[in-house]
Amino acid sequence: MASTQGNRRTKRIDGTARRGVALHAGLVLGVLLSAFPFYWAVIMSTHTSSEIFSYPPKLLPGTHFPENLRSLFDNIDFFGSMFNSLLVAGTVTFLVLFFDSLAAFVFAKFAFPGKRLLFVLLMFIFMVPAQLQAIPQFVIMAKLGWIGSMTALIVPAAANAFGIFWMRQYMKGAIHDELLDASRIDGAHFLRQYWHVALPVVRPGLAFLGIFTFMGQWNDYAWPLIALTNPDNVTLQVALSQLNGTHGTTDYGMVMTGALLALVPLLIVFAIGARQMIGDLAKGAIK
């Protein structure tokens, strides 16, 4: 190792260059592994089942996408269930953003009796596991007559402890007390302070919460599976899984087409918010 000075320097330069190439080769390999299942789904959605069954496997796109699309639409009410998913995910996201940020504003910037206790309770709620609530929620929903309707999905999700906690942390840093004091002296009442002073400042935090809420709702599977008992009135994820259950061995091309199309709205939301989200995660995840 310890040779002459010049020798060592050339070795180091060679080493860094080689390491740079290896680094990007490793990273690209990881990206390929991340992307491969998506690619594979695209391939399968463009072939007939018999082509899919053939050996060696097809690794390039075929020509049967339109046929697969048609049998997908024949087998499930794709746009109907997609509409249900959009309705639920959109409404929940809107309600969560409103209720969570309003509550977070109060916890971050105001003093009132019982605040500490209520906040500790909030953090405790954060940790209660979901399946402990599944049976009673089902029973309560049944008593209310909500089973089978979108209400059963929307109402319980309309506000959550995680969102309040997240927005509170964000607001504590982002909203300056002087700004609030100034608006108070100007005579702005509480809702006005929330709407005109707090919300504009915390827009990045809201974007992050909104994207995560939308994705969580769009991808939720267990609760809609139980709560939406009428097979004609389900969300996209449940409709997809029905497709897999009944037709999984017969028409993979069609199932893949459905799985792929179900990802499109998510990818659009992600594409819009990715920069915001990744930036926020990388900065704010560890505190």
Partner 1 sequence: MAALPTLEKPPAALADLPVGRPRTGWRKYWHLYAAISPFYLLFLCFGLIPVGFSLYLSFHRWDGLGSMEWAGLSQYRYLLSDTEFWSSIGTTIVIWALATFPMIFLAMVTAVMLNSAVRFKNLYRVAYFLPNVTSVVAIAIIFGSVFSTNFGLVNAFLQAVGFDQIAWLNTPWGIRIAIATLMTWQWTGYNAIIFLAGLQTVPGELYEAARMDGAGPVQTFFRITLPMMRPVLLFVLVVSTVTGLQSFSEPQVLLQNTSNDSTFSGGPGHAGRTMVLYFFQQTFDNNDFGYGAAVAWGIFLVVVLFSIINWRLVQRRGED
Max CA-CA distance within the chain?
84
Query: Which residues fall within 8 angstroms of residue 4, CB to CB, at 6 or more apart?
Result: none
| Closest by Cα among 79, 12, 107, 80 to 230 | 80
- Angle 115-125/161-174 helices, nearest 10 degrees? 130
The verdict on 31 binding partner 1 (CB under 8 A) reads yes
Among 133, 173, 195, 272, binds partner 1 (CB under 8 A): 133
97 vs 164: CA distance, rounded Å: 9
CB of 232 to partner 1, least distance (A): 19
User: Quick one: 73 or 99, whose CB is closer to partner 1?
Assistant: 99
Distance CA 158, CA 266 (A): 20
d(CA 221, CA 206): 24
Using the minimum distance from each CB to partner 1, give the nearer residue, 17 or 139. 139
Is there binding between residue 195 and partner 1 (CB under 8 A)?
no
Stretch that binds partner 1, among 67-75, 76-84, 199-207, 253-261 (CB under 8 A): 253-261
Q: Which of residues 41-80 bind partner 1 (CB under 8 A)?
A: 41, 44, 52-57
Give the sign of the dihedral formed by CA 109, CA 114, CA 117, CA 123. Answer: negative
Q: Report if residue 35 touches partner 1, rule: CB under 8 A.
A: yes
Closest approach of Cβ 49 to partner 1, in Å?
Answer: 9
Any idea which residue has 């789904």 for tokens? Answer: 41
The smaller minimum CB distance to partner 1, of residues 66 and 285, is found at 285
Of 21, 123, 139, 272, the one binding partner 1 (CB under 8 A) is: 139
Per CB under 8 A, the segment of 67-75, 86-94, 202-210, 245-253 that binds partner 1 is 245-253
Show Cβ contacts of residue 144 under 8 Å, excluding neighbours closer than 6 positions.
none
Q: How far apart are CB 262 and partner 1 at their closest, in Å?
A: 5
Q: Does 198 bind partner 1 (CB under 8 A)?
A: no
Q: CB nearer to partner 1: give 60 or 286.
A: 286
What is the nearest approach in angstroms of partner 1 to the Cβ of residue 155?
A: 7
Which residues inside 207-236 make contact with partner 1, applying CB under 8 A? 215, 218-219, 221-222, 226
- If one asks whether residue 3 binds partner 1 (CB under 8 A), the answer comes out as no
110 near partner 1, judged by CB under 8 A: yes
User: x/- contact string, 113-132, with partner 1 (CB under 8 A)?
Assistant: x----x--xx--x--xxxxx
Binding partner 1 by CB under 8 A: which of 69, 86, 87, 159? 159
59: tokens are: 């690794």
- Region of 63-71, 76-84, 199-207, 262-270 interacting with partner 1 (CB under 8 A): 262-270
First-residue to last-residue Cα distance in the chain: 42
Name the DSSP letter for residue 232: T
CA dist 141 and 85 (Å) reads 19
CA dist 70 and 75 (Å) reads: 9
Tokens linked to 266 = 């998510």
| Block residue for tokens 């504009």 | 200
Tokens of 62: 């075929």
- Can residue 90 be called a binding residue for partner 1 (CB under 8 A)? no
